[in-house]
Amino acid sequence: MRLFLHRFGQISPQLWGWQFTGTVLSTLSLPDLELERLDEVATAKGALFGVSVLKTKEYVYIYGTRDDAFPKLAHIARATTKSLSGPWEFYTGRGWSADPRDSAPILSGVSTQYSVFQSGRLFYLVTMDGRGPFPDTIAVYKAGSPEGPWQGPRIIYKVPGVGRDVVAYNPFVHSQFREGNRYLISYNLNHVNDPSAVFEDAAIYRPRFIWVDFAQIE
């Protein structure tokens, strides 16, 4: 089993005093989940790769987020299905390059984590609507290829319970759970100012789930 793992380092004692330092691709044995190896992943202009993965017949597309910019920017790399560890190619806006320095953003306004999946001939990108700070809506974009160009956004859900202190994040499409064109999407809430709040009210931190009919998205 292969998992992307992100490294973060503490830069201050403050609540948000940490920063992204790198990504590795881990290999775990099954069924005991013993760690077998770690492969370093190239960083393209500070993008955090592995937030979403899409497999096609020829390639595995690895999506990343550059969250040191605002709005946050989505990037994409690809590897052959036989060699996820590399070498990778990075989308330049016009084609693909082996040099991560050539990577260009494919979409602006994404959340740190988002989901990309294929349904029929179309590709869908589901994200918090990151065009503004601390969004309370989930948006979807669609495209005819994994790298875009992306059309949208279309707002598909307004998250209840979000306010000054509680934010929504990590929208994720569980494409293995579907009913026709209806897909299961999860998202999380968290308190951004007081870490003890989730211990006092555990309901804040529980994952939420919604069903979305993508046949209705034009």
pTM (2 decimals)? 0.92
pLDDT score of 69 more than 80: no
Residue of 96, 12, 14 whose CA lies nearest to 61: 96
pLDDT score of 218 more than 80: no
Q: What is the tens place of the pLDDT at every residue in 96-116?
A: 999 999 999 999 999 999 999
Residue of 111, 113, 110, 126 whose CA lies nearest to 212: 126
Calpha distance 28→8 (Å, rounded): 21
**pLDDT level of residue 14 (50, 70, 90 thresholds):** confident
pLDDT score of 132 more than 90: no
Percent of the chain with pLDDT over 90: 64
Q: Mean pLDDT: which of 38-42, 108-112, 131-135, 199-203 is highest?
A: 108-112
pLDDT score of 88 more than 90: yes
HEC string for the chain: CEEEEEEEEECCCCCCCEEEEEEEEEEECCCCCCEEEEEECCCCCCCEEEEEEEECCCEEEEEEEECCCCCCEEEEEEEECCCCCCCCEEECCCCEECCHHHCCCCEECCCCCCEEEEECCEEEEEEECCCCCCCCEEEEEEECCCCCCCEEEEEEEECCCCCCCEEEEEEEEEEEEEECCEEEEEEEEEECCCCCHHHHCHHHCCCEEEEEEHHHCC
Q: 12-21, 114-123, 133-142, 207-216 — which is least confidently predicted?
A: 12-21
Residue 213: what pLDDT? Answer: 94
Structure-block tokens of residue 101 = 């320095």
Mean pLDDT for the chain overall: 91
Residue 46: what pLDDT? Answer: 80
Calpha distance 40→204 (Å, rounded): 35
Average confidence (pLDDT) over 162-181:
91
Q: What is the tens place of the pLDDT at every residue in 29-52?
A: 999 999 999 998 887 778 889 999
Residue 12: what pLDDT? Answer: 82
Residue 77: what pLDDT? Answer: 96
Average confidence (pLDDT) over 146-159:
95
